[in-house]
Structure 1
Amino acid sequence: MSSHRAEVRTIAGSLLTAAFSAVMVLSFTASADDQGPGSSKGGKAMDAAPAGVKLTTLLPEKISVDNSSKKTAITATVRNEGTKESGEINLLVVGFDGLKVNSVQGCSAIGAKDLPPGSNSGFKCAVGTLAAGKSKSYAVDATYDLSKAGKICLPVMSADGKKTFWQQGPVPFGTTNPSPNAPATPLLLGTDNKPVAPGGDTLPKTGVGDDLLPLGAAGAALIAMGAAGVYWSQRRPGHRPLDS
């Protein structure tokens, strides 16, 4: 009889381990890859583009900030929705307030003295010429201080810097429901961030045993699984900034 019980416990333990592994893999994949569809929210056409050229940008509808490292990943995309090639253009990726751009793949940092007013970081990407209907995406490595609001701006400029054909932002990423105790905090494009209050690294306790809630919730999930089976500053005189 004891042998039978030991065998049952072994099988149950194996199933629990497999279920837990599956949850971890699925969670990591979702947080790493799922940024939702691209959005041009907060974007506006500026100087007139050449005939037949229509330039826009896209940002993910949601990103995720690691609560320990403050790191986040953002995909910035520029596209030509027109019927003719764009000519030589540059894409700028600029951070404001709590959102700081650390690097953009294949792009060069903008010097501090050349940054747009109010920004804390920026990179210039030499896009080259975009054919009609084509787009180009850049991987943006950033940090986000969740105790502040944070914004990003994507201007699309002529190669000589004299014209800004399109500018998305400064548009905010944020959340109205901070999650200081979670591994990561999801942020939505176009949402003003509600900063975590001072001392908000732990949630208020409302009763005995609250500390057991994360483990209990994880256990419930496993059981359920088993049951189921800028404004850019260097513009020609006379330009007006786009309000944030």
Structure 2
Amino acid sequence: MSSVARTRRRGATAGSLLTAAVAAALVLPAGAVADDTPGGSSEGGKVMSKAPDGVQPETTLPEKITVDNKTGKTKGLVATVSNTGTKDSGKISLAVVGFDGLTVKDVPGCTPIPENKLPKGSNSGFTCPLSNLSAGKSKSFKVAATFDLAKTGKICLPVQSADGRTTFWQQGPVPFGTTSPSPNAPVTPLLLNTVNKPATPAGDKGGGTGSGKGELPSTGPADRVLPLGAVGAALMAAGGAGLWWTRRRTT
């Protein structure tokens, strides 16, 4: 083969590889977790208010995470928001909120919710604004959290309009936990939709707060979700995304 032919073949090969690389970059939305995104479950999720035509937001959580028995840090906790509709979402917001023994410490790329703006009963939270989520696409956020194995723990993922006035979808508050605590092991596996049974001192058969699969905390019908317009506006002014709901307690 002549040197000219070899040069042309190398040029064609390089061009093909460059085209493939560009095409791959265009397929994945910026910041999204791709191949290593774990499979998730939308258990405990419910449509709250009608989203714009063709837009169907949904969230998922991993079915299993672990907690380090020494540090209390969780591993494998990922919050994923998807648009299973046929049209782009436009600006929306995902919130990640912790309850009871589950405390959200950080969600990279998201804004902490001020303590005085947290929903009733929650202990921590972050808002994650998205400029757009294309039809059929999803974006995952790695959640740094701690879990107090002496308590039950829940997490909630609402998806809102950018101004925080409308909640399109809400998953939870849904529990993570185990019915077989293992305080002497390095880590304890926690399962989604399982009420945690705290470890008790040797010989003490009491103290548990759940047995087996716990009843999923009700996401509630749309009329029980009260939008906080003022809170949404305050968070928007602070550079975050609006918060979604005040839970009405039943007595």
Is the TM-score greater than 0.5?
yes
Does the 8 Å CA contact 1:114/1:234 hold for their aligned counterparts? no
Q: 1:35 to 1:84 in 2, by over 3 A?
A: closer
Q: Aligned partners of 2:55, 2:187: CA distance in 1, in Å?
A: 40
Mapped pair 1:44 → 2:37: no
Query: Where does 1:182-193 land on structure 2 (aligned, <5 Å)?
Result: 182-193=185-196
Say whether the 8 Å CA contact 1:35–1:63 is kept in structure 2. Answer: no
User: Whole-Å Cα distance in 2 between the matches of residues 36 and 84 of structure 1?
Assistant: 25
**TM-score, length of structure 2 as denominator length:** 0.67
- Listed one character per residue, the Cα deviations across residues 167-218 of structure 1 (whole Å, up to 9, x for unaligned) are 0000000000001110000000000000111x35x999xxxxxxxxxxxxxx
Q: 1:36 to 1:195 in 2, by over 3 A?
A: farther
Alignment match, 2:143? 140
Corresponding residue of 1:235: 228
Percent identical pairs in the alignment equals: 59
SS of 1:171's equivalent in the other structure is strand
- 1:16-51 Cα shifts (integer Å, max 9, x gaps): xxxxxxxxxxxxxxxxxx996200000000011000
2:152 equivalent in structure 1: 149
The number of equivalent residue pairs is: 183
Give, in whole Å, the separation in 1 of the partners of 2:91 and 2:229. 18
Aligned-partner Cα distance in 1 for 2:46–2:145: 24
> C-alpha displacement at 1:234, in angstroms?
5.0
* TM-score, with structure 1 as normaliser: 0.69
Q: Is the 8 A contact 1:107 1:124 kept in 2?
A: yes
Deviation at 1:59, TM superposition (A): 0.3
**Alignment match of 2:113 (pick from 110, 114, 125):** 110
- CA distance in 1 between counterparts of 2:38 and 2:84 reads 21
Question: What is the identity, as a one-letter code, of the residue corresponding to 2:188?
Answer: T
- Residues 160 and 172 (structure 1), Cα distance of their counterparts in 2 relative to 1, 3 Å cut: same
Partner of 1:53: 55
Q: Distance in 2 between matches of 1:176 and 1:168?
A: 22
1:159 pairs with 2:166: no
Cα-to-partner distance string for 1:89-139 (whole Å, 9 max, x where unaligned): 000000000000000011110001110100000000012210100000001
- Paired residues for 1:86-235 under 5 Å: 86-197=89-200, 199=201, 234-235=227-228
- Alignment RMSD, CA only? 2.8
Q: Which amino acid aligns with 1:136?
A: K
* 1:235 counterpart letter in structure 2: L
Which 4+ runs in 1 deviate beyond 3 A?
Answer: 230-234, 239-243
- Write 1 or 2 for the structure with the bigger share of helix: 1
CA distance in 1 between counterparts of 2:170 and 2:189 reads: 24
Q: What is the distance in 2 between the residues matched to 1:240 and 1:142?
A: 23
Distance 1:142 1:54, change over 3 A: same
Q: Which runs of 5+ in 1 are unaligned?
A: 1-33, 205-229
Gaps of 5+ in 2: 1-35, 206-218, 231-244
Give distance in 2, aligned partners of 1:86 and 1:164.
Answer: 13
In 1, Cα distance between equivalents of 2:158 and 2:69: 29
